[in-house]
Structure 1
Amino acid sequence: MAEESRPLALTMGDPAGIGPEITAGAWRSLHESSLRFAVLGDAALIARSGVPVREIDTIGQTADVFAHAVPVLPIPLAAPAIAGEPDSRNAGAITTSIARAVELARNGQAGAVVTNPISKIVLKKAGFAYPGHTEYLAALCNVPGREVMMLACPELRVVPITIHVGLRRALDELTTEGIMTATRTTHAALIRDFGIAAPRIAMAGLNPHAGEDGSMGTEEQTIIIPAMKTLRAEGMDITGPWPPDTMFTPPARARYDVAMCMYHDQALIPLKTIDMANGVNTTLGLPIIRTSPDHGTAFDIAGRGVADPASLVAALDMARQMAQHRNQT
């Protein structure tokens, strides 16, 4: 079976968050389309949103069920899920859902993994040893340290070089080698998974005005530009360092396919400002395809029936498109 025709494996996320609601909403939007997904989670939880649900034994049964009901590979919860009231007793079910989804993708039964939002705090209270989804997925795929987080919407793609660390620590961890590694992974993924034959990469500066020739900081000269020179010598189309305050305007965005950013918020603030509703988080550098909505668990609105499934729908659609491109290369 071609990879893009395999069903997608959708994790449960935190059962007290908006995951169950947006899952139901995504099914309503997609059940008459050619896209198919199966949920690894609690069937009764999804049924609360008023959609038909059917438990299945294998993900291969998804195609026969999806048009009529949400297919669910059951994973029991350790404690009742109450919307808006996260419970660390369910941490095991949350991580089991992720691990099983990865296993389905790695053994070829699922075309990709799409993850519903989790709460790092809830999992950490239960002893979860990873900063977030991205690092856990890399560990499950036996490629720790090779993961790269990309955020994407129709108008912008961004990659933060440093991710889930405090800003002071991010500055300490920013290195020439780290920039080169993340950029190489991103360049390869844009070709393989996004169908961009010759990616145009914009490198953000770290300091105001990209350092203003060293008068506002020297990291551009000592860390960023050396990485760019090496990558250009490898044949990559890289421009910059760009002043971070102007590189996300519409005319600037038209000049590149991805912006490599130096720290978490430098990348995520423009992406979420431009189009949070359709933003997608995807992990590059894995042997599988993984996407996720670009928002959190939203415990404050969980259970109220107002959560917007648009970002999850976008994540599911991007996963399918990436699978199609990967199958063609």
Structure 2
Amino acid sequence: MTVKPAMGGGPKPLAVTLGEPSGVGPDIVLDIKARAGADLPPLFVLCDPDMLVARARRLGLAETVRLHPITSPGDLASVGAGELAILPLVNRQAETPGVIDPANGAGTVEAIDRATAYVLEGEASAIVTGPIDKKALYDIGFRHPGHTEYLADLCATKTGAPIKPVMLLTGPELSCVPVTIHIPLVEVPRQLTTALIVETCRITDHDYRRRLGIARPRLAVSGLNPHAGEKGAIGEEDEAVIRPAVDQLVAEGIDAFGPLPGDTMFHAEARRRYDVAICMYHDQALIPAKTLAFDETVNVTLGLPIIRTSPDHGTAADIAGSGHARPDSFRAAIALAAKMAAIESGVRPS
């Protein structure tokens, strides 16, 4: 299967999933719609309408946010400017903020599956996913480490092509890509290879050109050890594994440089030298990204045949239904998805 281009007739909508319904996903989408009104890009939300109506009532937004059920993305033209388009799920979901209900898991997965299919079929331009509760999904037989890996397998199955997903954390001041992600720190030097670094950088370079509109992205590659190994004095990986990767990337015409000491590459002056930092492990990337812009950083999955963005926070079930959830990251994820879709389609975003 090949990915179909978005059909004509104007910009295609974003497909939005709420993630775990007992978390803040429903709260935030309702809040964003209440604040932004008609100023949001075209989008529809895959969810149980009754669940979202109940949450809107709990938050005092039932009169402010009017839900408009549709049967397909093509029906969005019938939705009023002040209405939120809802594409109902087959699986029902209970409105139980803060309390995990295993019965909700099937709907959470259904929303991801259908949103992905709509983008692959050209009926939607991108998917924006709300945070999931992995334990809740594991309890119903979900066997993927997380959202990203599931989307990669889903796209690979539908397209018939192998996929290597790459995590990008991007905010107003810093963008980072971790080469290794959810593994114990002791495993990082064992799994870090020249080939893995090169592959991660190639995907990053490709998607920055295609979907982020940067003709020649600058990749700053971090070291692994303190002071980037001090030329082998503090560990061998920087010279034996990372530097050969940088040399290969440069030979391929990719603007990469490093390895750089991790303690000197994230201050303001250093950040002006690159577009994205390629980091060797999870916390090396996420700590500076979240420190600089915790509420505005967006999680983007590179390497997929579709555009996928997500807020960079969890379900926050402890405040679900309280009205205290901050919408900044989810709103930024929506805006970035729309921008990336416009760039990929050749439309210059305003």
> CA 1:155 to 1:3, structure 2 compared with 1: closer, same or farther past 3 Å?
farther
> Offset at 1:162?
0.9
Query: Is the 8 Å Cα contact of residues 205 and 224 (structure 1) preserved in structure 2?
Result: yes
Secondary structure class of the residue paired with 1:141 = helix
Matches of 1:144 and 1:136, distance apart in 2: 13
Give 1:89-238 correspondences, 5 Å limit. 89-142=103-156, 143-238=161-256
Query: Is the 8 Å Cα contact of residues 279 and 314 (structure 1) preserved in structure 2?
Result: yes
Give the aligned residue type for 2:102. Answer: S
> Offset at 1:112?
0.3
Query: Is the 8 Å Cα contact of residues 200 and 257 (structure 1) preserved in structure 2?
Result: yes
Give 1:286-301 correspondences, 5 Å limit. 286-301=304-319
Secondary structure class of the residue paired with 1:60 = helix
Q: Does 1:9 align with 2:27?
A: no
Deviations 1:97-134 (A, max 9, x none): 00000000000000100000001121112211111111
> CA 1:137 to 1:3, structure 2 compared with 1: closer, same or farther past 3 Å?
farther
> Offset at 1:4?
7.8
> Offset at 1:145?
4.5
Give the aligned residue type for 2:148. Answer: T
Matches of 2:202 and 2:82, distance apart in 1: 43
Matches of 1:89 and 1:169, distance apart in 2: 36
Q: Does 1:38 align with 2:56?
A: no
Give the equivalent residue in structure 2 for 1:255: 273
Give the aligned residue type for 1:263. Answer: Y
- Gap regions ≥5 residues in structure 2: 1-6
Matches of 1:260 and 1:163, distance apart in 2: 12
Secondary structure class of the residue paired with 2:245 = helix
Secondary structure class of the residue paired with 1:248 = coil
> CA 1:222 to 1:2, structure 2 compared with 1: closer, same or farther past 3 Å?
farther
* Equivalences, count: 329
Give the equivalent residue in structure 2 for 1:72: 86
Give the aligned residue type for 1:209. Answer: H
Matches of 1:3 and 1:102, distance apart in 2: 21
TM-score, normalization by structure 2: 0.90
Deviations 1:300-326 (A, max 9, x none): 111100111111110010001101111
Deviations 1:79-107 (A, max 9, x none): 52310111222211111100000000000
Matches of 2:113 and 2:283, distance apart in 1: 28
Q: Does 1:27 align with 2:33?
A: yes
Query: Is the 8 Å Cα contact of residues 119 and 126 (structure 2) preserved in structure 1?
Result: yes
Q: Does 1:273 align with 2:263?
A: no
Matches of 1:309 and 1:318, distance apart in 2: 14
Matches of 1:3 and 1:271, distance apart in 2: 38
* RMSD of Structure 2 on Structure 1 (CA): 1.6
Matches of 2:24 and 2:130, distance apart in 1: 9
Deviations 1:199-225 (A, max 9, x none): 110001111111111121111011101
> Offset at 1:156?
1.0
> Offset at 1:154?
1.4
Matches of 1:13 and 1:157, distance apart in 2: 24
- Deviating 4+ runs (over 4 angstroms): 1-4, 76-79
Q: Does 1:83 align with 2:97?
A: yes
> CA 1:117 to 1:34, structure 2 compared with 1: closer, same or farther past 3 Å?
closer
Give the aligned residue type for 1:178. Answer: L
> Offset at 1:66?
5.1
- Gap regions ≥5 residues in structure 1: none
| Identity within the alignment, % | 46
Aligned partner of 2:340 among 302, 322, 328: 322
Query: Is the 8 Å Cα contact of residues 4 and 321 (structure 1) preserved in structure 2?
Result: no
Deviations 1:136-159 (A, max 9, x none): 111111155411111101111110
